[in-house]
Amino acid sequence: MRIDLATIALLGALQALLLAPLLLAATRAYTGIARTSLRLWAAVLGLQATGWVLASLRGRISDWLSIVLANGVLMVSYALTTHALRMLLHLPRRRRLLIAIGVLGWLGITWFAVVMPDFRMRVYIAALSLGGYLALLIWPLRHALRRGGSTAQRVMLLVLGAASAVWCWRLGRMVLGVDPSSGLLDPTPINTAIMIYSAVEPVLASIGFLLMYNEAVQAELHRLARTDPLTGTLNRLALDEEARRLFQLAAEHDGGLAVLMIDADHFKAINDRFGHAGGDRALTALATCIGRHLRASDVLGRAGGEEFLVLLPEADAAVTDALAERIRQQVAQLHPVLDGETLTITVSIGVAARLSQDRHVDALIRRADRALYAAKRAGRNRIAALPAIPAHERD
């Protein structure tokens, strides 16, 4: 049975045209990168539909439309596909590279369509350009193949891998001389495979994109639920989760874990003098100053009000005390300017390290909290530690 490849191309274009307005309608509920990436993907579907409609009319309209314009539109769609996916992955967009690949590919196809007509060279150039775009997508997605990797990214890798396989098959047969030079709509086995895949690819790629988008949204919601909106540090919920996790790891491996409880001295006076907006700016500056002196493995969060909690995995007493003193000194030198006045902020810091007798992280945090109030009672702007563990916490 003879398969009409032009009809397959038109069916694929119809699917893309039906998907595009659905995605555009969905963008009304979102903002920022989410809306931008979805709108770009809707534009991709519209461009692909236009390109394949023009390509399906080859022989019925001029080559300027069915080859030159069609390939130009498809090149733009491939560039936008790469741009949208890299945006969703929070990767550098590589705009100049994307434009260069598309422009050079389109100029090469135009040359071998109009000046020196050569179907084989057009296939080589199109495959090379598409390969460049695929490489910019597949390489950053390779991490999804690791254990515990993103399911959505694996789906997209499968879609992109299938596209790569089809075009490699096409190139291999041409290089080996198995397929004679023929037009895109000639019903050869490889043309049929390419056209069928191109018809279903918009649906498959859109499914992968929406799955990735959903994962990104869920990750962002999870991050926001764990982040203090003022300081950008972890909130109390996230701090409790991290404290339990790090304490469990330390207990299982008999490792170190230390805690700093940091409180801004006389902070009520700052709020009374500069208002809550001024107090918020002071807290933000304080959080930034503390975070600047922490390791990548350390955890900083806002315990409440003007109190911050720092979790220090694998930290011994000497390292912890030195860090606490360094933070205290640096905060004292911070001097933020509020309403034109230079402000001096000091902090009191309670220090506690995990003891072998500790059975729960709450005992460690309570010890740091009591040490903090010991520092307050001793005059503030100092650090204090209470190494002993009360008898009622030795359960």
Question: CATH code at 197?
Answer: 1.20.1070.10
Clarify whether residues 215 and 324 are in a common domain.
Answer: no
Clarify whether residues 200 and 242 are in a common domain.
Answer: no
- Judge whether 102 and 75 are in contact, CB under 8 Å: yes
Q: Per-residue pLDDT for the chain (395 aa), expressed as one digit of tens each?
A: 566 777 887 888 888 888 888 777 766 666 667 778 888 888 888 898 898 889 888 888 998 999 999 999 999 999 999 999 998 888 898 999 999 999 999 999 999 999 999 888 998 999 899 999 999 999 999 989 988 889 999 999 999 998 888 888 878 877 877 766 566 777 777 777 777 887 788 888 888 888 888 888 788 788 888 999 999 999 999 999 999 999 999 998 888 999 999 999 999 999 888 898 889 999 999 999 999 999 999 999 999 889 999 999 998 888 899 999 999 999 999 888 888 888 889 999 999 999 888 889 999 999 999 999 999 999 999 999 975 555 454 44
Clarify whether residues 276 and 376 are in a common domain.
Answer: yes
| Residue that finishes a domain, picked among 203, 225, 247 | 225
Clarify whether residues 181 and 68 are in a common domain.
Answer: yes
| Three-state DSSP class for residue 179 | coil
Asked if the structure places residue 89 within a domain, the reply is: yes
Structural domain of 299? 236-393
* Domains in the chain, number: 2
Clarify whether residues 219 and 271 are in a common domain.
Answer: no
Question: CATH code at 376?
Answer: 3.30.70.270
Clarify whether residues 209 and 277 are in a common domain.
Answer: no
| pTM score | 0.68
Asked if the structure places residue 231 within a domain, the reply is: no
Asked if the structure places residue 230 within a domain, the reply is: no
- Residue 108 has a pLDDT of 96
Clarify whether residues 214 and 285 are in a common domain.
Answer: no
Clarify whether residues 221 and 253 are in a common domain.
Answer: no
Clarify whether residues 267 and 214 are in a common domain.
Answer: no
**DSSP assignment, residue 299?**
E
Clarify whether residues 260 and 389 are in a common domain.
Answer: yes
Clarify whether residues 298 and 202 are in a common domain.
Answer: no
Clarify whether residues 341 and 196 are in a common domain.
Answer: no
Closest listed residue to residue 126, CA positions, set 85, 66, 67, 181? 67
- Judge whether 133 and 121 are in contact, CB under 8 Å: no
- Number of other CB atoms surrounding residue 206 within 10 Å: 21
